[in-house]
Amino acid sequence: MSFVPEYNEEIVRCMKCGNCQEACPVYIVTGKESRVARGRIRLIKAVIREEIEITDSVQESLLTCLQCDACRITCPPGVPVNDLLLAAKAAMLEKGKNLPESQDNLRVSIIHEANPFLQKKGERGAWLPPEYKTPKPAPYLIHAGCAISYSQNRIGKAVIRILESIGLDFTLLGDLEECCGDPLIRMGAKKEAEKQINRNKEEWKKLGVKYVVTPCAGCFKALKEHYSDAIIPLHVVQLFSQLIKEGKLRFSKPFKKKVIYFDGCDIGRHGKVFEEPRDVLRAIPELTLMEFPKNRENAVCCGGPLLGSYPDLAKKIAAGRVREAESLGAEVLVVACPTCLLNLKEGAREVGLKLDIQDINAILIRTL
């Protein structure tokens, strides 16, 4: 009974009712019982009882979980599936079960280069204007995150321009910025994640940072869950929403489009930030805001967390979200997460959908 003993009671609480099936994007695409909370819990129980070994297929069952937490919303006894699976993944590594090569490459990249993109740490701040390459003491630190630093720095540049327009005193770490640790947590590399988190806290402490603001939903989730004892975490839309209410941030140019906002899991179900991005979009003149039938707490994940390890599955899930937005008559699908943005675009491209998919900051900079 040494395998995740702290969750033995939660495991037996699973009623096997199947409610999680209709909420799980992975199950909806694959139709496999081993790819839904109920099936994963059964496998963990079988490992605990030593009925089965920790095989590659058992490990893959857990690693293909999006950690989107949708199953918790529909679970009558309230089994904490996310916590359980994270503990089980960590236990597998502790017992010597190596990660698949695709995920282990990401782990090694974070440990040695502080990012999961297999890029050099010294190139992290290459996208920044010269005046932001060297950090300075400031109340606000903009934590760009790995995706923005290496893949989608247009989002970061838009955030900087918006904050410059109101004269906010902020700084960035440039090449000194490192991964928030969230990818390590997701794959079960708990000890490495703790080292990463502690290193970041020390670096931020040197600058006297009070607020850490990020445009990355995954980083925001990590900040809320693992850094709140050291700083005040904010997703950038929370800061924008407050600045709009204070009359410091205004958008004057009209955006005459039907815009549907996508509640990413990290900013939404995990971060509990639902109204601020909508308030920001409503502040744009002539923008028509639409909603998915399943939104806020009940929103359906785009599949983004699996893009680096199980890309085919991730894209199929994303295509479903884009199709739905298109069928509702939306002209623009807006997200507040670079991972959602990348995966939704990949999903749309995979099946030939032409819907315009944008990060919220790209919309804001056009109407400032």
pLDDT of residue 308: 86
pLDDT(158) > 90: yes
pLDDT of residue 7: 82
Strand residue runs (E) in 197-242: 211-214, 232-235
Q: Where exactly does CATH 3.40.50.1860 map onto the chain?
A: 251-367
Per-residue b or e along 187-200, where b marks 16 or more CB atoms closer than 10 Å to that residue's CB: bbbbebbeebbeeb
Helix/strand/coil for 170: strand
Percent of the chain scoring above 90 in pLDDT: 91
101-242 CATH fold: Rossmann fold (3.40.50)
227 vs 329: CA distance, rounded Å: 40
pLDDT(281) > 90: yes
Q: Where exactly does CATH 1.10.1060.10 map onto the chain?
A: 5-94
- The mean pLDDT value for 62-86 works out to 93
Going by the DSSP 8-state scheme, the letter that residue 269 receives in this structure is: I
- The mean pLDDT value for 68-86 works out to 92
362 vs 368: CA distance, rounded Å: 10
251-367 CATH fold: Rossmann fold (3.40.50)
Residue type, 179: C
Helix/strand/coil for 261: strand
Contact (Cβ atoms closer than 8 angstroms) between residue 199 and residue 230: no
Residue 312 makes CB contacts below 8 A (sequence gap 6+) with none
Confidence of residue 129 (pLDDT cuts 50, 70, 90): very high
Closest CA to 142 of 122, 130, 125: 125
Helix/strand/coil for 253: coil
Question: Which is it for strands 140-142 and 288-290: parallel, antiparallel or unpaired?
Answer: unpaired
Going by the DSSP 8-state scheme, the letter that residue 100 receives in this structure is: P
Closest CA to 124 of 147, 149, 142: 149
232 - beta bridge partners? 211
5-94 CATH fold: Fumarate Reductase Iron-sulfur Protein; Chain B, domain 2 (1.10.1060)
The reply to whether the predicted model has a pTM over 0.75 is yes
pLDDT(1) > 90: no
pLDDT of residue 312: 96
